[in-house]
Amino acid sequence: MSFIWILGLAVALAMDCFAITLGLACSARGLTLKQALRMAAFFGGFQFAMPVLGWLAGDRLLGLIRYFDHWVAFGLLALIGGRMIFESVHMSDEEKACRPDQTQGHRLLVLAVATSIDALAVGLSLGVVRSGIVYPAVIIGITSFVLTVAGAKLGPVVGRLVGKRAELAGGLILIGIGVKILVQHLAG
């Protein structure tokens, strides 16, 4: 497997991480370096670990999850995106300032799992074709880390362009990613 092929795969998998981080950074009017690195570590770590788990599980896990993995990812992203949209409409700026950090705890864990389900399927596929996994998983994890940081840095710029409805845009991005995952799996 060539480096270019693996990098293309890694970028494709990392685009969800980038878009989600961009949406959160947009709605939060920017992320601190600590928040950006925490998100990058979670997303990059899950994007590294899930292909390895998929590769180790092989065909058995593929048969168990292929019928509903896309529904899980869609549901998780739609739930968080819907909550962001609700909060953008119904919460005052003072209430938003007092809410817990959006980049830690269960929300971050759910986002990391939701964005890495496709990486699990990639690992399963690589296991089926008897390809190595460590090198691709490292490239996937690093690429996800880098694109997550990029999304965190670009988020405030997009937030200024979108204005007060940045959180609404962030929620719509999450739901859009969930729909994209669902459509890709149902059409494929």
pLDDT at 180: 85
- The neighbour count for residue 188, using CB atoms within 10 Å, is 6
pLDDT at 115: 85
Domain ranges of the chain: 3-187
Whole-model pTM above 0.85?
no
Query: Residue 143 — pLDDT band, cuts 50, 70, 90?
Result: very high
Query: Residue 51 — pLDDT band, cuts 50, 70, 90?
Result: very high
Nearest Cα to Cα of residue 176 among 73, 102, 105, 43: 73
Instruction: Give SS3 for 91.
Output: coil
**Mean pLDDT of the region 117-124:** 83
- The neighbour count for residue 7, using CB atoms within 10 Å, is 15
Distance separating alpha carbons of residues 49 and 40, to the nearest angstrom: 14
Proportion of the chain above pLDDT 90, given as a percent: 29
Nearest Cα to Cα of residue 171 among 72, 93, 87: 87
